[in-house]
Every structure is written in structure tokens, then in C-alpha cells.
């Protein structure tokens, strides 16, 4: 079993839709959970990060972490064509030099 599993996609939604992106993980030592957005041929950009369980909201984006279920989600409200990108979940443990473990990424397309 891979440490981090992410829905494979791709995902296509109409503009204005609510998008739900999800990842599951197996390592209970993970404490930090991140969502990155990557446009084609660019490096990833950190969108949201959460420590331990709970919700975090930033504008149209909400990140949720359920450590009991080892499940994280990213919700995008009122999706826009500019949200079209690949979204990668990532997580890691506490500690110096801890390394990110990434999901495979899901490509989202928001249709005008």
C-alpha cells in the first residue's frame, strides 16, 4: 500500500461548481498536511497547509484533515477556469529534515 493515495482523475467540472479533492494515507506519524497547485510546466505552489486534524479556510479554499480516518480533503467553492491545474496533496512528520510525501496529483479542468 502506498503511503499516500490520491484520486487519479482527471476531473472536469463547470465553472461555479464545488470541487472536492481527496487523499488517504497510511502513516499515522504524518502531522502536517499540504495541498499544492501545479500549473502545466511550472513548479508546485503551496495552497494550504494544516497541522493535525481540523479545518482551515482561505477564501474559496477549505482544507480538512481527519486523522482518525487518515483522510484529507480540499474543497474549492465557486470554481473558476483559472483553478484548472494539477492538485497534489503532500504530508510529512514533525522533525528536522522531514521529507514531503506526495500524492500522484489530480488534474482539474474547470469549463467556462
Partner 1 sequence: GAVVSQHPSWVICKSGTSVKIECRSLDFQATTMFWYRQFPKQSLMLMATSNEGSKATYEQGVEKDKFLINHASLTLSTLTVTSAHPEDSSFYICSARWGQGFGNTEAFFGQGTRLTVV
Unique residue bearing C-alpha cell 499544492? 36
| 4 membership: H or E segment, kind and range | strand 4-6
Closest CB to partner 1 among residues 18, 100:
100
CA angle 41, 57, 28 (to 5 degrees): 80
Check whether the bond before 10 is cis (ω within 30° of 0): yes
- Mask: binding to partner 1, 81-110, rule CB under 8 A, as x and -? -------x-x-xxxxxxxxx-xxxx-x---
Supply the minimum distance, in Å, between the C-beta of residue 16 and partner 1: 27
Taking CB under 8 A as the rule, does residue 49 contact partner 1? yes
Binding positions for partner 1, rule: CB under 8 A: 31-32, 34, 36, 41-46, 49, 51, 88, 90, 92-100, 102-105, 107
Amino acid at each position: 500500500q502506498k503511503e499516500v493515495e490520491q484520486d487519479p482523475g482527471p476531473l472536469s467540472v463547470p465553472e461555479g461548481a464545488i470541487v472536492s479533492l481527496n487523499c488517504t494515507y497510511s502513516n499515522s506519524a504524518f502531522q502536517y498536511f499540504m495541498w499544492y497547485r501545479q500549473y502545466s510546466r511550472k513548479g508546485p505552489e503551496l495552497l494550504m497547509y494544516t497541522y493535525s486534524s481540523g479545518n482551515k479556510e482561505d477564501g474559496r479554499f477549505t482544507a480538512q484533515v481527519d486523522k482518525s480516518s487518515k483522510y484529507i480533503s480540499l474543497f474549492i467553492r465557486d470554481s473558476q477556469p483559472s483553478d484548472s491545474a494539477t492538485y497534489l496533496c503532500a504530508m510529512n512528520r514533525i522533525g528536522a529534515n522531514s521529507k514531503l510525501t506526495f500524492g500522484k496529483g489530480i488534474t482539474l479542468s474547470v469549463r467556462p
